[in-house]
Structure formats: structure tokens, C-alpha cells
Amino acid sequence: MSPAAESELPLLEVDDVAVRFGGLQALRGVHLEAEPGSVTGLIGPNGAGKTTLFNVICGYQPATTGRVRLDGGDLSSLPPHRRARLGIARTFQRLETFGSLSARDNIRVAAEVRRGWSREKVDTDRITDEILDLVGLRAVADEQVDAMPTGLARLVELGRALATQPRLLLLDEPSSGLDESESEDFGRLLLRIAETGVGILLVEHDIDLVMAVCSVIYVLDFGSILASGPPAEIQRNEAVRAAYLGVGDEAEHAIEKRVAAG
């Protein structure tokens, strides 16, 4: 394959992935791509299979059929730690931090773990400080995470993921617990991270956030991709409105506000 052809490959490709739990078909024929340097959205109702798909990408859940590729390389048979070393990092819907440690130490631990397996001679203190500045935690760097409000703790979790220097970052409901202002700040942070070349796959129920930061959005419903495309196209999709965006007054208000704003 020529270098030009290689450069056209998506960073992440999920190809015809299906997952079955006994008689339950959790995912069926899912195809999804994520590009470097951009935020890709994955939305859908609760139980649609979003976290299951994340688990397939990370290697926590084997696919019944289908493939997961990173830069064209097939990851499907690799365990989670091998995928992490190839550049996949994630956060979780249920907040996962080292609560008894400070924000600084949460991030430093991840930086030191990466230095250990990569054998790179890097200054983990410098990396930690850079990430604290990037995510806006320098002022509370030495506070214990268990004593922090949820919004700050989520930034700690994000910073810890970034300390592994990922190429692909999977974020599962990262704005949960944030107020409107914090969510807007978080969206700007995601765009800054993407500008460094990192590809971001975002699972999120905050429709305003998704529409503001994502270049492409995939809609998952009952384990299948219902629609995909840029935000404006998803906004106009009647099937998406019926299956997800039109469920509940809050979601309806969010989509109508985005449409009105153009």
C-alpha cells in the first residue's frame, strides 16, 4: 500500500461488529469510523449498546463477529493492555479515579506507568504539570480527589487518560455532573485536545455539547447504527428525532435550539 493510501485510513475503524449475550443481540452490524484531530460523537438511548461498543474497542468485551482496526491494524485478538499501549485510552461512565490521591498524583501515576512500558526517557513531572495546565487543574493539583466536586474529578480522570499519550481517546459520559457553564468549558477543552491530533470518540447525553464539538455523529439504537453524518444532517433526520432526540422535553428543546441557531 502506498503512503498516500495509508494516510486515507481512519484512525479507528469498527467494521461490522456484533455482540450477542445469550439470546440478547447487544450490537449488530455496527460500522463506525473516527479520524485523528477531530471529535466523533456516539449518541443513543440508554441501553442502545454504546458502552458495550466502547468495551469492544478497548478489548474488555470480545465481538461475536466483526473487526476493530487502529490505523488499519487489526486489534480484534489483542487484550486490553496491548490496545492501550498502541494508543487507546478511555474514561468511564461511572467515575473511576484514585480517590485517596491528589489530582497531581492521579495524573503522575499514569505518566509513570506509560514511561515504564514504553521505556521512553521522559520527565513525568513535566508531563504531569502540562496536563494539569491543559485541563485547568493547576490550582487544585494537590487536593485529594475524593474531596473534589464531580466536575473537577472528571477532569482528573480525563487528565489521567491523557497522561498515557493516547492517539484515540474514548470518553463515556464525561460531562455527567457538570453544570451548563462547566459543560461549555469542557467542550472547548475537547476541541483543544483534538487540535493536538488526538482522535476523540465521545458518548454523551448532553446534546448541546455533542452538536457543538463533533464533526461527525453516529446514532446507535437497539444495537444498530440508525444514522451517521455531520451535526446539521443528524439534526434534520426524522428517524433520529423519533428514536432519540425527540424523547423527552429536554432533548426536544435541545435539538430545536440547535436547528434554530443554524
Q: Give the residue extent of every domain in the chain.
A: 1-9+34-87+166-262, 97-165
- Say which CATH class 1-9+34-87+166-262 falls into: alpha beta
Question: What is the distance of C-alpha 87 from the center of its chain?
Answer: 13
- Pairing state between β 224-229 and 39-43: unpaired
Give the pLDDT of residue 162: 96
Q: At what angle do helices 150-162 and 103-118 cross, to 10 degrees?
A: 20
Mean pLDDT of 173-189: 89
The per-residue pLDDT for range 120-164, each reduced to its tens digit, is 888 899 999 999 999 999 999 999 999 998 889 999 999 999 999
Q: Indicate the pTM of the whole model.
A: 0.87
- Pairing state between β 168-172 and 88-90: parallel
CA torsion 45→99→187→233, rounded to 10°? -20
Question: What is the distance of C-alpha 199 from the center of its chain?
Answer: 9
The full length of the chain comes to 262
